[in-house]
Structure 1
């Protein structure tokens, strides 16, 4: 896919991995719709990259009406949707059973709803609009969906149950969604990040931070949001990448704790 002049949705695009991807897309000539709930951060991104290139919708990804309305708004403003990146997500820290009792369902379900259901929710409405596009290449391609899982979806640690389940679900959706959408010329892939240096890590004590860096095989550091964004650009541009879950993790394999 030639990215110049294309339109992308980036959920969670106001910060972290999403923001880095918004910046990378705009540099390639993409118009970007940020779906997020942090309007202040989104306005900062718009101020940096320009209101002609980036627009913001306040979206709860787990809410059907919120997503459906925002997707329609993107098409109205930019004319089409060619790329959809799902980064929006939340975490939790709770064991299945501990001295406090069982994992409360009201703490488990929000993680599933935002991370897994939200990814599916945005993907399906984005795909619906991509199917309306005229083919953009000789293969009949019309768009690409790029979801975000985590190595926790494969190697979840103690206390990561809800987060791991949600990310494992995203991994499991990748191939069947790619197969579902193949006849429409819509590709589906999933990025599987390892330990990426987001603002969360800046709040950690230095010994903890250094220990996490040392756990990475090579290069022995945390990943950079720009490296995730670079992979996203590659997936969008390379029309033969489809149905893949691509780890970007410095060959780390998470231990139980």
Structure 2
């Protein structure tokens, strides 16, 4: 699918991997609708991108907030005439916690809900609200493609560490719905691809201490470093352009298999 003159909705689009993705797609002629909670960062990005970008302050754990962002994007698309052909669900959080701590207290259900509501529910809610505006797009190319959905899982979906029960559950669920989503949307010519990154420089990894980050880097086979946001964005671009990528989860991890503990 071509990128130029298409509108892409990107949650978590004002920072980290989402912002790197937005920059890459925008540089290739895309229109980008950025959904993020950080309004100040969103304003900065829009001033950088210009008229081919819109920002919507959005809490992806709120159906009403997503609805407002989708409606705003649809109104913008009616002005530009550039159809919605892609969704990149990049909003995510991590909140570590052992299922039972050293004092024999279970992890709070509130912290589990927080992670699941953003990483899983927020992803599916964004997709379900955006898709009806993609199924009616004029099909393009020899295959009659209408668009692509790209979700973000994590290497923790496959080898989560101690304290990552909620996070691994959320990302494992995202990975597991990739194929059924692709099957649901195949009749409309809409593909579904999930990317599962390991350690990448992002807002989430900025919260790590230097010893924790170094331990994770040591678990990388090669290269022994955190991935760069631009490397993630490059795989998103390939997922958009390569029509044979569908119903699959792509690990982007430098052959990293996380140990049980650091």
TM-score range (shorter-chain normalised) is: over 0.9
Distance 1:154 1:105 in 2: 23
Distance 1:112 1:136 in 2: 35
Residue 53 of structure 2 corresponds to 54
Distance 1:128 1:116 in 2: 20
**1:226-246: CA deviation from partner (whole Å, max 9, x where unpaired):** 111000010001111100100
Displacement, 1:69? 2.4
- Tell me, yes or no, if structure 1 residue 39 matches structure 2 residue 39: yes
Residue 190 of structure 1 corresponds to 194
- Given the alignment, which residue of 103, 106, 115 partners 1:102? 106
Distance 2:192 2:55 in 1: 24
Distance 2:106 2:202 in 1: 31
- Tell me, yes or no, if structure 1 residue 235 matches structure 2 residue 239: yes
Task: Give secondary structure in 1 for the equivalent of 2:142.
Answer: coil
- Tell me, yes or no, if structure 1 residue 220 matches structure 2 residue 224: yes
Q: Which runs of 4+ in 1 moved over 6 A?
A: none
Distance 2:249 2:207 in 1: 30
Displacement, 1:62? 2.0
Residue 250 of structure 2 corresponds to 246
- Tell me, yes or no, if structure 1 residue 155 matches structure 2 residue 159: yes
Unpaired runs of at least 5, structure 1: none
Residue 6 of structure 2 corresponds to 6
- The answer to whether the 8 Å contact 2:93/2:204 transfers is no
Displacement, 1:61? 1.2
- Given the alignment, which residue of 175, 181, 189 partners 2:185? 181
- The answer to whether the 8 Å contact 1:14/1:36 transfers is yes
- Tell me, yes or no, if structure 1 residue 82 matches structure 2 residue 85: yes
Unpaired runs of at least 5, structure 2: none
Task: Give secondary structure in 1 for the equivalent of 2:47.
Answer: helix
- In structure 2, relative to structure 1, the CA distance for the partners of 1:204 and 1:88 (3 Å cut) is closer
- In structure 2, relative to structure 1, the CA distance for the partners of 1:90 and 1:203 (3 Å cut) is closer
Task: Give secondary structure in 2 for the equivalent of 1:97.
Answer: coil
More displaced 10-residue stretch of structure 1: 74-83 or 144-153? 74-83
Residue 169 of structure 1 corresponds to 173
- The answer to whether the 8 Å contact 1:83/1:144 transfers is yes
Task: Give secondary structure in 2 for the equivalent of 1:14.
Answer: coil
TM-score normalised according to structure 1 size: 0.96
Displacement, 1:91? 1.1
- In structure 2, relative to structure 1, the CA distance for the partners of 1:208 and 1:70 (3 Å cut) is closer
Residue 70 of structure 1 corresponds to 69
Displacement, 1:211? 2.8
Displacement, 1:100? 4.7
TM-score normalised according to structure 2 size: 0.94
Displacement, 1:209? 3.1
